[in-house]
Amino acid sequence: MSVVTRCVKRAYRYRFCPTDAQAAELSRTFGCIRKVYNLALAARTEAWERQERVNYSRTSAMLTVWKKTEELAFLNDVSSVPLQQCLRHLQTAFTSFFGRRAKYPRFKSRKRSRRSAEYTTSGFRFRDGRLTLAKMAEPLDIVWSRPLPEGASPSTVTVSQDSAGRWFVSMLCDDPSVEPLPATDTAVGVDVGLDHLLTLSTGEKIANPRHERRDRARLARAQRQLARKAKGDGANRAKARQKVAKVHARIADRRRDGLHKLTTRLVRDNQTIVIEDLTVRNMVKNHTLARAISDASWSKFRSMLEYKAAWYGREVIAVDRFFPSSKMCSACGTLARRMPLSVRTWTCDSCGAVHDRDVNAAKNLLAAGPAVSVCGAGVRPQRSTPGGQSVTKQKPSRREP
C-alpha cells in the first residue's frame, strides 16, 4: 500500500532592507509592471469591444513587440519574469470576471495600486539562505524572523513595498511540517459581534480589541497634519502621508496578529467549528456600524479559519445568514417575534429560559451545524406555528432535482 505524502504550499513573509541600488531597481520594476499591465488591459478592452479574443499568449507576444519600440525600450532594463507574471495575473482577473466571481479588471494607479513584483524560479537565486533577484548583484538583506522549513526552496518570491515604506519578501515553499491534527469529538459554535469579537457556545466571550479605536487619536492627528499640507507631490506632504500610513500599518499588523492567534487556537481545540455566513460587504453599508465592523475584520477571521482548518484536517461549517440564531430559544426551539439589537438578555415566553443573546446564538449555530454539513445547504429561517411551536424550514440545494 503506497503512502500519499501531503505537502502544503505556505508563504513565509519577511522584512528586508534594500540598498539604494536595490530600492531603485525594484521601484523601476514596479513602474514597468504597472505600465505593462495597463497596456495589456487596454489592448484586451479594445479587443473586447471588437468582439475579439485576446488571451495571455497574445499579450505575451505584444510585450515582445512593445520592448522593440523606442517609446517602451525601458522595459528591457528590468527582469522579464515579473512582467510575464503580471500578464498571468491579468489573465486570472479576466477568468474570474468571465466566471462572474469578480468585476471587470481596473487599471493600476501610480499612487493607489499595490507595489509588488512576483518572481518565479528563473528570476531569482536562493543559495545558503541568501536570496538574489534578477538584475541585482547583491543578495537581499533579509531579517529572518523565523526559519524556512528544513531543506525548503522557494518556488515563487514576491517582493512588495507597503504604503508605510516598509519592504517585504514573501517566499512560497512546500511545508511538510503541516500535518492533520489528531481527530477529536469537540465542536463549537461561534457567533461574531462588536461588543465581544467572538462568543462561543461554551459560554466563553472573547473581547473585541478594537485596534482602530485605540489608535484613533493618533490617526486623527496624523490626518490633520496631512490635510494642512499643500496638495501636490511635495516632500512635506509625502512625509505626512507616510505618517498616516504608518498608523494604519500598526493597526493592521496588530489586528492580523490577534486573528492569527485566535484562529489557530480554535482550530487546534475543535474538530468542527460552526459559524454564520455573513455578507460583510452589505453590512458595512450601515454607516453607523461600518467603522466598527471593518475594525473587527470578520471576513479575515473567516478566511484564516477556513484555510487553517483545511491544513489541519478540521471542518468549518457556515450556517445560512437568514437562520434566526439570536431569536430562537436554544432550550425549546421557540422563535421570538422581535429581537432588536439593543436586547442583550431575554427570557423565552414558552419555557422561561433566560438567555444571553450572543451565547444563545452560538448554541443555536452549533445545533444547526450538523444539518448543514449533511445536506450541504444553509438553514433558512424558522416559522412559528399558530400554537407557538417553531418549525424548521430547510432550503434544498439548487443542484438537487
Residue 6 burial class via C-beta count within 10 angstroms: exposed 0-12, middle 13-18, buried 19 and up: exposed
Alpha carbon distances (Å) from 367 to 12, 177, 199, 363, 371:
37, 34, 15, 6, 8
Catalytic residues: 191, 276, 358
Cell of 25: 531597481
Contacts of 305 (CB under 8 A, 6+ apart): 263, 266, 267, 273, 275, 316
Element (H, E) at 197: strand 196-200
Cell of 38: 495597463
Nearest C-alpha neighbor of 86 from the set 134, 38, 26: 38
Nearest C-alpha neighbor of 272 from the set 357, 373, 144: 373
- For Cα atoms 17, 111, 227, give the angle at the middle one, nearest 5 degrees: 100
Contacts of 82 (CB under 8 A, 6+ apart): 29, 32, 33, 117, 118, 119, 123
Nearest C-alpha neighbor of 209 from the set 255, 156, 169, 245: 255
Angle between helices 20-49 and 80-98 in degrees, nearest 10 = 40
**Phi, psi (degrees; rounded to nearest 5) at 40:** -65, -40
97 vs 41: CA distance, rounded Å: 13
**Phi, psi (degrees; rounded to nearest 5) at 143:** -90, 100
210 vs 301: CA distance, rounded Å: 14
